[in-house]
Amino acid sequence: LKRDLELFSHGDQTIIGDRGINLSGGQKQRVQLARALYQDADVYLLDDPFSAVDAHTGSELFKEYILTALADKTVIFVTHQVEFLPATDLILVLRDGHIIQSGKYEELLQAGTDFLSLVSAHHEAIEAMDIPSHSSEDSDSNQVLDQSLPHNPKSNASSSNIEILAKEVQEGPSGSNQKAIKEKKKAKRMRKKQLVQEEERVRGRVNMKVYWSYMAAAYKGMLIPLIIIAQSLFQFLQIASNWWMAWANPQTEGDQAKVSSAVLLIVFIALALGSSVFIFVRAVLVATFGLAAAQKLFLNMLRSVFRAPMSFFDSTPAGRLLNRVSIDQSVVDLDIPFRLGGFASTTIQLIGIVGVMTNVTWQVFLLIIPTGIACLWMQKYYMASSRELVRIVSIQKSPIIHLFGESIAGAA
């Protein structure tokens, strides 16, 4: 992987994408072989690991990986490339899932049958490879070539600096310095740019456009006034029923009832039934609004994902998409509508209570103003940290879901 790491913009810190999507087939094979080598196991089971590389690369990998790096390990090597067989200790020939021959390379050649016919078809390739006899010489020559080649990554940078100096001599010192600075900044930005970027998150308060877009997603916001009206009527009937009971009942034992018991009960039951109807209507409207808004937002998200370019899927891990369409969507489906309904209910109820209290004793209004200011300050102080924690938790779930999905795919 040395040459591959030199070509990557960030070396071994380069993010290779979901399932190595920006790697070639040969690079994927080499990465898998390197990961297996790092395990330092006693037994290695290699299932045709050189199928995605060319013949020259496959022979080099066989020499450096199996014959050198795994020289002291037990290697079970499954392959159809018979040019590697002369270097093996034991060969098992399979047909229809059964072992039909076993032995060393020379023994199987002398025995003939199926193995001889298979090797004869690849006889020229085996002679060209000649792995067991020339492996040490080839590795020595490769080391000599490797040492003779320059490995300094700054050589390209020095050549580019020479070109910049030549341009400065030709163009003069006026605009060349600025051009060189711009080129250096651009190169620095390109080095910092990864294929898979960190997931972005908004900081600070939620923009009002987000709330308006959510409320307008369901029937263009036509249900919002109906929800407010239903909740207001429910609160009005609740206050009316309490006032009716306080007004109709005698204040002391000696007072005479203003209305009969039958009228008292009929009016109270009517007010209670009316409030029950309006609270039921509000609940139905909130559920309808939440369902329609969630469907509209989900379809918009689905349409955006299906129409996204392929580069979007190369740079976006699957865990982020699963996080958005599962956890975040469940919050939109089940949590937000009822929280908005509860907010409307609490706000209208608070307004009704304050109105009744100020109507009876207006001096209470003087205490409500500082109390409201203190509550708003505490809410602002709490929401600043709570909002950021929710965003951080939502983002941190993406790599967990991505790892879980890859683990399931690997186990399957």
Averaged over 9-34, what is the pLDDT?
79
Judged by average pLDDT, the poorest of 13-27, 143-157, 238-252, 366-380 is: 143-157
**With bands split at pLDDT 50, 70 and 90, how would you rate the model's confidence at 190?**
low
Q: Is the pLDDT of residue 245 over 70?
A: yes
Specify the residue for token string 């018991």: 261
pLDDT tens per residue, range 310-357 = 878 777 777 888 888 888 888 899 899 989 889 989 999 988 888 888
- Where does 208-360 sit in CATH, by number? 1.20.1560.10
Averaged over 143-152, what is the pLDDT?
40
Q: Calculate the alpha carbon distances from 251 to 238, 248, 356, 358 in Å.
A: 21, 9, 19, 22
pLDDT tens per residue, range 357-384 = 888 888 888 888 898 899 989 988 898 8
pLDDT tens per residue, range 38-66 = 888 899 998 888 887 778 888 888 888 88
Judged by average pLDDT, the poorest of 14-18, 103-107, 377-381 is: 14-18
**With bands split at pLDDT 50, 70 and 90, how would you rate the model's confidence at 149?**
very low
Q: Is the pLDDT of residue 180 over 70?
A: no
Q: Is the pLDDT of residue 141 over 70?
A: no
pLDDT tens per residue, range 344-353 = 899 999 888 8
pLDDT for res 176:
53
Q: Is the pLDDT of residue 101 over 90?
A: no
Kindly report the average pLDDT of the chain as a whole number: 79
pLDDT for res 195:
61
CATH fold label, 1-128: Rossmann fold (3.40.50)
Query: pLDDT exceeding 70 applies to what percent of the chain?
Result: 78
Phi-psi region of 405 (alpha: psi -120 to 50; beta: other; left: phi over 0): alpha
Domains of the chain, by residue range, sit at 1-128, 208-360, 362-411
Q: Is the pLDDT of residue 206 over 50?
A: yes
Averaged over 149-175, what is the pLDDT?
45
Strands 91-95 and 98-103 come out as antiparallel
pLDDT for res 296:
93
pLDDT for res 231:
92
